[in-house]
């Protein structure tokens, strides 16, 4: 859970929001709103925020629940909305692909009539 703070820069006399977040390696680090990328998904559980650790330069990505999203936005972080691709919501039928299926498909793609072959298989089911 990130923590908001506020620091005054002596030169600019402007309040700068600092956000403390945790790097897996370095522990608590201080960031500014511009350091954080907040991606809010229409499917709430897929929302996340990420930043580059200012100490070790590692990319850190963490899930953002509603509370975290609210907190980061109130701290001045810009949120970008993204949607899960429709395929994620599709119902799936039939057995999962096997390595043999993949190899067959690879061989099929080498044939000039591969698309027609797929159409024939699809319309037969
Ligand atoms: Zn780090």
Q: Nearest 5 degrees, angle CA 46-CA 32-CA 10? A: 165
| 119 is a domain residue | no
User: What is the Å distance from ligand 1's center to 52 Cα?
Assistant: 8
| 113 is a domain residue | no
| 20 is a domain residue | yes
What is the C-alpha separation between 94 and 58, in angstroms, rounded? 41
User: What is the Å distance from ligand 1's center to 59 Cα?
Assistant: 8
pLDDT along the chain (125 residues), means of 10: 68 71 95 96 92 97 96 95 88 90 94 91 68
User: What is the Å distance from ligand 1's center to 107 Cα?
Assistant: 46
How many C-beta neighbours within 10 Å does residue 46 have? Answer: 15
| 28 is a domain residue | yes
Q: Provide the number of structural domains found in the chain.
A: 1
Domain range for 74 is 3-86
| 118 is a domain residue | no
| 112 is a domain residue | no
User: What is the Å distance from ligand 1's center to 58 Cα?
Assistant: 6
| 70 is a domain residue | yes
What is the C-alpha separation between 76 and 92, in angstroms, rounded? 41
- Provide the pLDDT for residue 31: 96
User: What is the Å distance from ligand 1's center to 13 Cα?
Assistant: 29
Q: Nearest 5 degrees, angle CA 52-CA 60-CA 57? A: 35
Answering whether pTM is above 0.85, one says no
Distances (CA, A) of 61 to 3, 34, 111, 116: 16, 15, 43, 43
């Amino acid at each position: 859970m990130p923590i908001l703070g506020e620091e005054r820069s002596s030169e600019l006399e402007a309040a700068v929001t600092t956000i403390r977040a945790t790097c897996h390696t370095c522990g608590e680090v201080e960031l500014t709103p511009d350091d954080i990328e907040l991606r809010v998904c229409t499917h709430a559980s897929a929302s996340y925020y990420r930043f580059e650790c200012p100490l070790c330069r590692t990319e850190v990505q963490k899930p953002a629940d509603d509370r975290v999203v609210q907190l980061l936005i109130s701290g001045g972080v810009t949120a970008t909305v993204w949607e899960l691709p429709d395929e994620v919501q599709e119902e799936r039928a039939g057995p999962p692909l096997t390595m043999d299926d993949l190899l067959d498909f690879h061989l099929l793609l080498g044939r000039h009539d591969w698309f027609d072959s797929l159409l024939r298989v699809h319309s037969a089911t």
